[in-house]
Structure 1
């Protein structure tokens, strides 16, 4: 655990495990890297080097006056990867982290091996209407922020407002953008996700090497609700054959993996 300087911003990073292949965990909005480490990251440590970091205004990384933009978050992520010397990684992103993963892969495809997108939308219209009351944030969210943020609990409403401004206007990717991604990509959601199911299917169908997993009885917080199952599915994907071998291929028989 250490801070690294990324363009003058002390960015909290952590590395666990010592495998040759690298998994980078990209946390969700208003969350932090500890969440993914604790829920699923530990499952990968025996086979992978696992890296996580807190984006600006999240976790142990302080905020600045600038608004939030997914493009800036992708730039930050790329510079973290370059700083730690990660030349080819698996990106595992949850929610906002999945959006960041998409943008990193589009901008720097050579840095990415495989992608895991959990509860991820490629366009802001793909999610159900958000209702985040600054005076009554979801249970545990403010407490988690207050425990870690160098800015203190009083800064949470500022971060929440920035998040809402971004999430209701970004991202604006298209299926043509997604079609450029040749990386093997696992799209994973709960059947009652914040991301609309038809949007998730459109994401999957646009990806040249996409795979789709919809978990029943789960929501946008599927990594909290079914952490062991989610971790097992991800690990199977990261270590499995590409393209996968199936007995009755349909989509993949047409050249789509």
Structure 2
């Protein structure tokens, strides 16, 4: 497997976005888009299997990881444009896209606005709309007033993982805790604003690309109902419900990878 270290592009509004490739050139490119509060390493355990089939392109969304952290609210349009500018800079005309949580919102935006850049689409543990807006306003205000990320990190972990993993002090959970604590509050708050303002419930009907929706049976952030709504709105979309909480790629990697790889590699 050929791996590259982290590189950067600069977007039209002057924000540096970190990215990296894994896998051999010449294979179909699979773009991975992450959850709020994570960086491109949230996919580390899945990359060895994915690179058997794809050249994997990962990136840190603005506000996260090694990317810049502009202050103020972000918009889904801007997060989507970041990806388009990344693909343009790398000379990639069309890629498979797999997005989880916030990454799933971004992936939906790509399928709506630039479907010619998308081959097949996987939307995991995500929603087309997460209201009401007031809950996000309160969360943003409380986060920006907090002394650090400690309380927010623990909230994320409770929402992401089953109790058995939390109680066992799982090494995987600890890695995600470290990432959360290192994440700037402005990046989380800005991303929450993007989710607050996003409503794709009608426009995802315009997505023309083959789509797989993965939902978590026990997900309390983006419920299985949210996945069902997406799958019933996008023409021809398939739905796979896993007995997982929110980060289904981490909790059930075997089932997750089987669903993703089968969908992306099957002949049509």
Q: TM-score, normalised by structure 2?
A: 0.79
Residue 212 of structure 1: aligned partner: 239
For residues 32 and 114 of structure 1, the distance between their equivalents in structure 2, rounded to whole angstroms, comes to 23
Aligned positions of 1:18-57 closer than 5 A: 18=24, 19-36=26-43, 38-57=44-63
Change (3 A) 1:65 1:227: same
**Which of 72, 77, 85 is equivalent to 2:83?**
77
Aligned positions of 1:19-168 closer than 5 A: 19-36=26-43, 38-125=44-131, 134-136=149-151, 137-138=153-154, 140=174, 141=176, 143-145=178-180, 153=182, 156-167=184-195
Unaligned runs of 5+ in 1: 147-152, 243-257
Report if the CA contact (8 A) 1:29-1:96 is conserved.
yes
Report if the CA contact (8 A) 1:25-1:41 is conserved.
no
Residue 166 of structure 2: aligned partner: none
Structure 1 residues 101-138: Cα deviation after superposition (integer angstroms, max 9, x where no partner): 11012111110000001101011239xx7879644113
Residue 255 of structure 1: aligned partner: none
Residue 252 of structure 1: aligned partner: none
Q: Does 1:3 align with 2:8?
A: yes
Structure 1 residues 66-116: Cα deviation after superposition (integer angstroms, max 9, x where no partner): 322211100101100111111111000010001101101211111000000
For residues 107 and 88 of structure 1, the distance between their equivalents in structure 2, rounded to whole angstroms, comes to 13
Q: Which protein is richer in strand relative to its size?
A: 1
Q: Does 1:182 align with 2:208?
A: yes
Q: Which protein is richer in helix relative to its size?
A: 2
Residue 249 of structure 1: aligned partner: none
